[in-house]
Amino acid sequence: MNNTLYFDEESEYLQKEIPQSKSCVIKLSFSLDFDIGQGYVTSKIEDRDGNIRKLNIQPGIRGIKLQSDLIRGKNKNVELPSHVYVQTKLKDGKSLVRKLPVIGTSDWLLIFEEDLCMLAIKDQYEEIEILG
């Protein structure tokens, strides 16, 4: 395998696990414009209806808190998945993929992951996709 397509070995391994879109309960894709804070980044996200939401990416114990307003299940009683895959294409063309446990919901979309945070601070990607 040619791991020059991937940010690291973890991304290469996880790429094979990402579920097909039709089998996902959660499918989110965003264009991002980061604001850098002290040890974190934020971005405003506009949904299909023009509503502005907020994303926060920071280092810490890996996990994600989903914003319930962004999740549109066909069935309102659908359970959240135990984990989601977060992926992005870096400006150098490499793919970064992370598998994050869902640790609940929040008023913001919160992602806790070191590499995603550091690469956002360095302005290395502009889009992110979440599948689960």
Q: Which residue has the higher pLDDT, 46 or 95?
A: 95
**CB 107: neighbour CB atoms within 10 A?**
11
Cα separation, 13 vs 3, whole angstroms: 10
27-31 vs 127-131, strand pairing mode: antiparallel
- Whole-number percent of the chain with pLDDT over 70: 92
95-106 vs 83-89, strand pairing mode: antiparallel
Amino acid at 34: F
With CA atoms as reference, report the closest residue to 132 among 88, 89, 86: 86
pLDDT for res 1: 47
- Residue 97's domain comprises 3-131
Instruction: Give the DSSP H/E element, type plus range, for residue 116.
Output: helix 114-121
Count how many domains the chain has: 1
Is the pLDDT assigned to residue 85 strictly greater than 70?
A: yes
Cα separation, 110 vs 83, whole angstroms: 14
Is the pLDDT assigned to residue 98 strictly greater than 90?
A: yes
pLDDT band at 52 (very low <50, low <70, confident <90, very high): confident
